[in-house]
Structure 1
Amino acid sequence: MLNKSIRRVSMLILFTAAAMAACLFSISTGAVMVPLRDIVNSILQYDLSGMHRDIIWNIRLPRTLVAMVVGANLAVSGALLQGVMRNPLADPHIIGVSSGAGLFGIFLLVVVPQYDYLLTPAAFVGATLAAFIIYLLAWKDGVSPLRIVLAGVAVSAFLGAGISAMLTFYSDRVHGALIFMVGGLAAKSWPDLAIILPYSIIGLGLAMMFSKQMNIMMLGDVNARNLGTRVELSRLLITATATLLAASAVSIAGLLGFVGLVIPHIAKLLVGSDYRMLIPSSALLGAAVLTFCDTLARIMFSPIELPVGIIMGAIGAPFFLYLLRRKRA
């Protein structure tokens, strides 16, 4: 038991180191290489002058922090949804929660762009409605994991049709919505971090509060009720927390897929299924992976920058097929 605890704590330390390494890699790498010494001096003392300070503080540091928060939010949202829906294939993008946020987000961006400051609350409302509809469609004397996925795919397709219709009617404004649809972090700055950070703090805090409930609910509804858990209320609150995290991430980074699918599975393989360790592990690993992938998206075809959603799609789609095949087997 002691060795298992030591291993889990060691993995948590490793994930923290990976997140810090990804952060430094992102800040130092680009068209202009910034030495590690300058990064440390600038962040700790803010005494660096000239071009490197501007690059660090005005361009790379805020984008890197946004990437880390978005990655943590999506990863924890996926971990919560996979647990509460008892489905290893659940994640905000696949089951349609992100599509609900995307529909409302696209509506603001292309139909009423003067209200773009309401993007985050609108995305939360859209994600909440999508989650409610999916849950309602999947309910039949309980929630079936297969019905969850099927209902999510159907709702996602329906909402995707709505997005396509809006882009068709407002074709002159499509360019501003393209990055949002693919998922990207280009030009993210301090105001974007200020928008997402309160939602992230609240959502991650609630996720940790619900970690004990998640462990109980993993035993099954009957056992959870026998232990005094109000299953449906807990499921509703946990789903709302996952929706809040996903919606805040979508409002900043767009329809970024597969982070919530891939990261929780990797974390679970390394630290186990105890949500008291799985949630912080998923957050740290999600931050590290998305930050690293965003850096690759910036430098792979420099000076052309790819949206990070393309990189995550290239990684996540094969992983999804692997999970689907393993589940069927």
Structure 2
Amino acid sequence: MKKTTEQKLPGRRPETDCSSKRRISLLVIFAVLACLGGIISVMKGSVAIPLEEILAVFRGESIGTHQQILMNIRLPRTLVAALVGINLALSGAILQAIMKNPLADPHIIGISSGAGLAGIVVMLLLPEYSWLITPVAFVGAMGAAMLIYILAWKNGIRPIRIILAGVAVSAFFGAGISAMMIFYSDRVHSALMWMVGGLSARSWPHVELLWPYTLAGGFLAILAARHLNILQLGDELARGLGLSVEKTRLLLTAVAALLAASAVSVVGLLGFVGLIVPHAARLLIGSDYRYLLPASALLGAAVVTFSDTFARTAFAPVELPVGIIMAVLGAPFFLFLLRKEL
């Protein structure tokens, strides 16, 4: 039997069924972790609810205090944590591809700060128009992303310029947030938890606000997986393959900004999810965005739900914002990546 040309070419090996099966198995494991994180989140708290009681509530066989706690407090908070984890992880994975920077993260490079400044303006000046927070935060996030891109552009994009421009933009918008909180100090109490990223008092209206953005952003991200794979090959080769590089970057930046802004509008400036999760998924499942995006989404949901459960139970009765836990995990990871890349 004659060998095909592809078989004869050195260094080329088509993806094997074994590799596909391994990636699918990892996706199943990530899904199990996400489900496990959700189950533990609704079980643990100041009042422990046994798994049997939770199942009874879902079957409609249980009424009383546990049902009220589960349906009105724990379950919506857990769903918000999972949706936020999905959004931030997908946003980080997209940004790392389009900016060609493994350190890209909506919080680190200033996109979250842009969304945060826009959101806090609405929160402090127009509290009666809280429904505007997400679209206004999207405008702020998109503006920050475009500003970073413009500042970092000089005969092309280099990873180090992205980080430096992002740090500068983040500091600028952070100063704006601080100024708003000083000028309107009488209204600042509601914004304090939002500043560090917290899930306290998140309920069903927040779930209803988040899930359409998660669904739309996730769908668009999965559709763009092929384009993200091509972008990893470099701009020249991507253009040679017929991809409109700048147009693709602009559209995908909008998707990443939408995902980040929706998360920021609900939980505030929760950092490092978009940095840690895509890297962890990439180490395990590879850089093929057809698998990396769903892996990041599932792992993001698991990381945020587990972190939030730890934040509200480890130091009970004191509840820490989940942003503190993510900062403790993310800051050393960022320094490790920074030393590795530079």
Stretches of 4+ moved more than 6 A in 1?
Answer: none
Match of 1:203 among 217, 220, 226: 217
The Cα shift of 1:47 comes to: 2.6
- For residues 85-234 of structure 1, the aligned pairs below 5 Å read 85-234=99-248
Moved more, 7-16 or 143-152: 143-152
- For structure 1, which runs of at least 5 residues remain unmatched after alignment? none
The Cα shift of 1:278 comes to: 0.3
Cα distance in structure 2, aligned partners of 1:4 and 1:77: 26
Give the AA of the match of 1:194: E
Cα distance in structure 2, aligned partners of 1:46 and 1:295: 25
1:268 alignment partner, SS class = helix
Cα distance in structure 2, aligned partners of 1:5 and 1:129: 39
Q: Does 1:253 align with 2:292?
A: no
Match of 1:39 among 50, 54, 75: 54
Cα distance in structure 2, aligned partners of 1:209 and 1:38: 40
The Cα shift of 1:136 comes to: 0.9
Match of 2:72 in 1: 58
Give the AA of the match of 2:57: S
Match of 2:322 in 1: 308
Cα distance in structure 1, aligned partners of 2:120 and 2:112: 12
Match of 1:289 in 2: 303
Provide Cα deviations, 1:45-100, integer angstroms capped at 9, x if missing partner: 23311111111111100000000000010001000000111100000000000000
Provide Cα deviations, 1:213-251, integer angstroms capped at 9, x if missing partner: 001111001111111111111111111100000000000
Match of 1:244 among 252, 258, 271: 258
Q: What is the number of residues matched between the two proteins? A: 327
Cα distance in structure 2, aligned partners of 1:115 and 1:64: 26
Match of 1:8 among 8, 12, 23: 23
- For structure 2, which runs of at least 5 residues remain unmatched after alignment? 1-15
TM (normalized to structure 1)? 0.98
Q: Does 1:28 align with 2:43?
A: yes
1:303 alignment partner, SS class = coil
The Cα shift of 1:206 comes to: 0.3
Give the AA of the match of 1:17: V
Cα distance in structure 2, aligned partners of 1:6 and 1:41: 36
Provide Cα deviations, 1:282-307, integer angstroms capped at 9, x if missing partner: 00000000000000111011111100
Provide Cα deviations, 1:244-283, integer angstroms capped at 9, x if missing partner: 0000000001000000000000000010000000000000
Give the AA of the match of 2:146: F
Cα distance in structure 1, aligned partners of 2:228 and 2:186: 46
The Cα shift of 1:110 comes to: 1.6
Cα distance in structure 2, aligned partners of 1:120 and 1:29: 30
Cα distance in structure 2, aligned partners of 1:41 and 1:237: 46
TM (normalized to structure 2)? 0.94
Greater Rg by CA: 2
Give the AA of the match of 2:117: L
Cα distance in structure 2, aligned partners of 1:298 and 1:232: 43
Cα distance in structure 1, aligned partners of 2:52 and 2:62: 10
